[in-house]
Structure 1
Amino acid sequence: MSAAAPATVQERRTFWLLLLIAVVVIGAGIGLRDPWPSDEPRFTLVAKHMVESGDWLFPHRGSELYSDKPPMLFWLEAASYTGLGSWRIAFLLPSLLAALGCLLAVYDLGSRLWNRQVGLYAAAGLLITFQFVYQTKRAQIDPLVMFFLTAGNWGLLVHMLDGPNWRAYWLGCFSAGLGVITKGVGVLALLLVLPYLVAVLGRWQGVSRMGEGAWWRWLLGPVALLVAVALWLVPMLLGAKAHAGDPAYAAYVNDILFHQTAGRYGNSWDHHHSPLFYVPIVLFTWLPLSLTYPGTLPRWWRALKAKDARILLPLSWIVLVLVFFSIPRGKRDVYIMPALPMLALVTAPYLGELLRQRWLRIAGLVFIGVMGAAMLLVGGAALIAHPRFTTELASGRGFEDGGHALWLMMVTIGASQLLVVAALRVRHAVAAVAAGLAVMWVVWSLWAYPILNDSSSAAGVMQEVREHLAPGDQLGMVAWKEQNLLMLDHSAVDFGFTRPWRDQYAAAVAWQAQDPSRRWLFALDPALAQCVDRSKAVALGHANRREWWMFKADAVIPGCLPNEGVDRLPAAAQDD
């Protein structure tokens, strides 16, 4: 196989239109909201500290070192802010760029290994998948991990199926290394070597053979991976050595290199699920692409029987990724998201044929119709009948009008999707599915983001805090969450984040007592227990399903400390 032939004018127009749609759908709403829990405020707070402190090597969450994740996403957010000057744009920009990078990679692979039409189908199939858009519209690490793994896969597949192309191979391994310093699992891209060996030894069609004297070039791939990792690892270790007198830096090195990687995989401490956890994920969160399974499964089987290495390598890699993440007890739906671009790639050669089949078009219409009907019914019921679950949700969000605008938005989306289904019907089902999903993502982003932002981001609560601070006042934080410090936009003192609330409270009260007339404490309601006279405190309101207070020294009950057990939120609220 060789590189794709030059694109026609129509193919170029279609490609750029697809990218434009991707920018609109995924980028809609950027600038209209602040980071939302659980992960977004944490990562943006770390990036903000990098910009303000100038320390880009050791991430901090408040006064503590943050060792849960390598720094790649934090670097990109901080760099985006440095260039743009707006956190509302900067924190979401890496995810948008990662999404576009994945689309470009699968488009190029489809074009190289088959033709440009297959490349367009691969990119469109990925863009239309629910989990792909949902996650890339958020500022988590997983979209970036997906991109680096997809870039790694691109390099290896170009080399193994459209090669030899040693530069692509080395670039793919380097990208895998960047994935390692993003979340640690970037090395999974190298699993493609296993099905490649099967294809070479089994003389599969379409596999590239490198010649007997190429063994030393293969070894440069792991070297490229290690070079990428060393870009962070070497300066970090040297920096930690320079802080040898501070045990916090030694603990940081130990935690991020061992506890958060091999330790977390071998002995997961959260998100425990059964080995079959990912079965509903690949069925339902990968809709509507997963609707093609009845058509692609037998075609994949025939391709494997015909020894088509173009299907063997990416399909085998998907299976290996699923097996890898099914072994540990800790599982989350986003862990297997890097398999999505490869699924779109191996589905694309058959999409043209499948989309002409009536059963698939009907399934697509049913999917959009059910989604639209559900949104219309829930929104309409909330506006008319006010069922308990909708009123509780509105109350939890602090909506004084019962969330009227939110429910009206759901009615609008649902009605629009049903209208699209009725207008386009089976003949134009593909357009109906694409339009129905695009309407949902764009309307949700432009309508819901402003409505939900204050309650989701703590922006409203922290605005209240700033209004109560007189010039010269100081603020201490107790049992705080990342979104509180991020949205404060004012200097503050924290007494640790992972430290037990009882200890935080004791240290905070002692700090406040040193200058009681000018020092306020900001705290979560349960952390105060019975140690604060709430009649003398300021109730800040409800945000992120929590009640928040601020108070001066006159509200503190002398000698009182919260019980030792009062240091955790209810399980339902811990991740917010």
Structure 2
Amino acid sequence: MLKTNRSRETWMFWILAVLVLGAGLGLRDPWPADEPRFALVAKHMIESGEWLFPHRGAELYSDKPPTFMWLQALAYSLFGNWRVAFLLPSLLAALGTLWCVVDLGKRLWTRRVGLYAGYALLFALQFTYQAKKAQIDPTVMFWITLANYGLIRHFLRGPDWRMWTLAWFAAGVGTITKGVGVLALLMLVPAIFATSRGWAGARVHRRDWRLLLGPLALVVAMSLWLVPMVTVALHHPDPAYRAYLEDILFRQTAGRYTRSWDHPHPPWYFIGVMLAMWLPPLLALPWALPAWKRRLQRRDARYLLPLAWWVLVVLFFSFPHGKRDVYIMPALPMACLALAPLLPGIVRKLWARRLALGFALAFTVAMTGAGLAMLLGHTGFVDKLIGERGLQRDAAPFGWMLLAMGAGGLGSLLWFGLRRPIAVLLSTLTFIWVLYGLVAYPLLNPSSSASGLMAEIDGRLAPDAQLGLVAWKEQILLMSRRPAMTFGFKVPIGEQLRRGVAWQRQAPRQRWLLVQEPAMSKCIDRSKVMLGGRSNRRIWWLVPATAVVPGCVVTDSELQDTDGD
């Protein structure tokens, strides 16, 4: 009977994880900021057969290595559906990260601790939110966590040379997924410290020749992409390939760290991120901090390794001027792992239970209030949200969805009662995330993905009409219903417009330009253009050849480059 109950608890966790993370798969297209970019690159790989060098439109895309886009393209090759393929790598990476944490908790402590670690990670706001997006960060988090998994098993339950080799290989794959993958190897620092100070259970095994298997595995993993890419780029006749090589190896890695050019934040920025986005697990912090101190004083390396690595990662990303909240997300699994053994005791404390219940009630009240405000339409915030997201037709369903989320929280409270606040909290968050995937995805998709805009544009044009994009964004090209001509992406919008006008002049009766508002030059007669639509807070215009003023010259000084996504 005991074994049956344990098995049921484990299966319940995994069913819940798939439900929370997978709800909505296949119900939406890529949304900005990054999703359309990666999906567009993956789509180009499928259509062109060029997998080694990513392309955004006709240009080489050197901002990120291609590993994540390979996974999306591979998923499309298997399932033949982009709505599934673009999100599938993030879903599988999140489930893989959960498995690493649950299994480590079980091996280092008990099966119950492993499940506590899994629940803490599954319902951490940043983890769930990012796992339901098609960005690179959930995937690189998996590779880093897998590397941590192998290193901790080797250091604390070893020697285990297969785990040691796996860890370095995972760090290498993480590095060619996003350059920070190698940060997993910072786990060596607390491991060496613990061994040198005689902490119980920590062993580094310095004099074994099999240590070399780790660095070798790292090199092999990174070489899977770096060697063929560097070889082809150095021998390619097009200088753009050498520029790609220099940009991705230097500017996008060391250059981005030492001379950040975007997302400026103060050094303490990540403290706020953790206190806000790592809830609800970090609600336990007031009780966890003194408990961690006592266990570290007892020289328990099971706590030192994940805690020290967490601190090292946060410190690493705190030095550069540019910071994003997702930078420290790979530290979240180790934070949950270190917290898990303490949670069985913490959740029995009166104020911890009150905090959990208060957190659930706050979400319930917020969702209910937002839903009522949207249905009644009495606030400027709601009007702004509806206008920006293009929800004029779908405002009522969206309001009802928010009310349903609030009702789910209220139902959880009535079902579980005040004596089971943790169950109330988890079920409330489950309702919210499932409804977000199943209902919000279809409601927001037409405006957020630009699919609605491009469907309307396609319906306005004749079947044989050709479309050119000026000052375009990735979602516009990705969602285009017909082949579209582009005139560069990083090219200044004035030059894009000049090229577009020259292209249109070659077949004026058939060719149209879709122009974003910032590129609407004085050389375009606004009385002869059509409003294409609004999408992602941007205005787009359909420009026929007759709207271009004859003899007028587009100048860069009158135009401003478009903003970010």
* Partner of residue 135, structure 1: 130
Distance across 2 between alignment mates of 1:397 and 1:188: 38
* Partner of residue 482, structure 2: 490
* Partner of residue 3, structure 1: none
Q: Does 1:213 align with 2:202?
A: no
Paired letter, 2:353: R
Aligned CA RMSD, in angstroms, stands at 1.4
Paired letter, 2:207: G
Q: Which moved more, 1:117-126 or 1:174-183?
A: 117-126
* Partner of residue 149, structure 1: 144
Distance across 2 between alignment mates of 1:249 and 1:507: 23
Deviations 1:348-373 (A, max 9, x none): 11111111112111100100101111
Distance across 1 between alignment mates of 2:51 and 2:457: 29
Using the size of structure 1 for normalisation, the TM-score is 0.95
Distance across 1 between alignment mates of 2:521 and 2:502: 17
Maintained 8 Å contact 1:365/1:425: no
Distance across 1 between alignment mates of 2:472 and 2:207: 60
Distance across 1 between alignment mates of 2:392 and 2:307: 51
Q: Does 1:339 align with 2:334?
A: no
* Partner of residue 220, structure 2: 227
Paired letter, 1:334: V
Paired letter, 1:454: P
Structure 1 pair 437–331 and aligned structure 2 pair: CA distance change class (3 A): same
* Partner of residue 451, structure 1: 443
* Partner of residue 468, structure 1: 460
Q: Does 1:105 align with 2:100?
A: yes
Q: CA deviation at 1:80?
A: 0.3
Q: How does 1:29-108 map to 2 (within 5 A)?
A: 29-108=24-103
Q: How does 1:546-557 map to 2 (within 5 A)?
A: 546-557=538-549
* Partner of residue 296, structure 1: 288
Paired letter, 1:155: G
Paired letter, 1:217: R
Q: CA deviation at 1:134?
A: 0.4
Q: Does 1:191 align with 2:186?
A: yes
* Partner of residue 307, structure 1: 299
Q: How does 1:358-369 map to 2 (within 5 A)?
A: 358-369=350-361
Paired letter, 2:228: P
* Partner of residue 557, structure 2: 564
Deviations 1:509-556 (A, max 9, x none): 011111112111111122013222233222111111111112221111
Distance across 1 between alignment mates of 2:555 and 2:533: 21
Structure 1 pair 562–527 and aligned structure 2 pair: CA distance change class (3 A): farther
Deviations 1:163-190 (A, max 9, x none): 0001101101100001000110111111
Structure 1 pair 465–382 and aligned structure 2 pair: CA distance change class (3 A): closer
SS of equivalent to 1:540: strand
Paired letter, 1:500: P
Q: CA deviation at 1:218?
A: 1.8
Q: Which moved more, 1:356-365 or 1:400-409?
A: 400-409
Q: How does 1:274-289 map to 2 (within 5 A)?
A: 274-289=266-281
Paired letter, 2:41: V
Maintained 8 Å contact 2:191/2:203: no
* Partner of residue 478, structure 1: 470
Q: CA deviation at 1:338?
A: 0.4
Paired letter, 1:462: M
Q: CA deviation at 1:562?
A: 4.7
Maintained 8 Å contact 1:395/1:402: no
Paired letter, 1:66: Y
Identical columns (%): 52
Q: Which moved more, 1:536-545 or 1:482-491?
A: 536-545
Q: Does 1:12 align with 2:4?
A: no
Paired letter, 2:30: P
Paired letter, 1:9: T
Q: Does 1:575 align with 2:549?
A: no
SS of equivalent to 2:533: strand
Q: Choose from 230, 233, 253 the match for 1:240.
A: 233
Q: Which moved more, 1:63-72 or 1:555-564?
A: 555-564
Maintained 8 Å contact 2:516/2:540: yes
Paired letter, 1:158: R
Q: Choose from 419, 422, 433 the match for 1:427.
A: 419
Distance across 1 between alignment mates of 2:316 and 2:204: 28
Maintained 8 Å contact 1:361/1:426: no
* Partner of residue 176, structure 1: 171
Q: Which moved more, 1:261-270 or 1:549-558?
A: 549-558
Maintained 8 Å contact 1:148/1:186: yes
Maintained 8 Å contact 2:42/2:72: yes
Distance across 1 between alignment mates of 2:431 and 2:109: 32
Paired letter, 2:143: F
Distance across 2 between alignment mates of 1:153 and 1:325: 18
Maintained 8 Å contact 2:521/2:558: no
SS of equivalent to 1:522: strand
* Partner of residue 379, structure 1: 371
Paired letter, 2:388: G
Distance across 2 between alignment mates of 1:80 and 1:267: 35
Distance across 2 between alignment mates of 1:54 and 1:13: 46
Unpaired runs of at least 5, structure 1: 1-6
Q: CA deviation at 1:495?
A: 0.5
Structure 1 pair 359–47 and aligned structure 2 pair: CA distance change class (3 A): same
Distance across 2 between alignment mates of 1:178 and 1:563: 42
SS of equivalent to 2:202: coil
Distance across 2 between alignment mates of 1:547 and 1:234: 43
Distance across 2 between alignment mates of 1:477 and 1:75: 26
SS of equivalent to 1:304: helix
Q: Which moved more, 1:399-408 or 1:278-287?
A: 399-408
* Partner of residue 161, structure 1: 156
Q: CA deviation at 1:492?
A: 1.5
Distance across 1 between alignment mates of 2:123 and 2:527: 53
Q: CA deviation at 1:221?
A: 1.1
* Partner of residue 4, structure 1: none
Q: Choose from 197, 203, 209 the match for 1:202.
A: 197
Paired letter, 1:106: V
Q: Which moved more, 1:544-553 or 1:527-536?
A: 527-536
Distance across 1 between alignment mates of 2:242 and 2:183: 28
Distance across 2 between alignment mates of 1:110 and 1:489: 49
Distance across 2 between alignment mates of 1:255 and 1:565: 30
Q: CA deviation at 1:423?
A: 4.1
Distance across 2 between alignment mates of 1:438 and 1:402: 23
Q: How does 1:503-518 map to 2 (within 5 A)?
A: 503-518=495-510
Maintained 8 Å contact 1:456/1:543: yes
Q: Does 1:388 align with 2:377?
A: no
Unpaired runs of at least 5, structure 2: none
Using the size of structure 2 for normalisation, the TM-score is 0.97
Maintained 8 Å contact 1:111/1:118: yes
Q: Does 1:260 align with 2:249?
A: no
SS of equivalent to 1:338: helix
Structure 1 pair 385–508 and aligned structure 2 pair: CA distance change class (3 A): closer
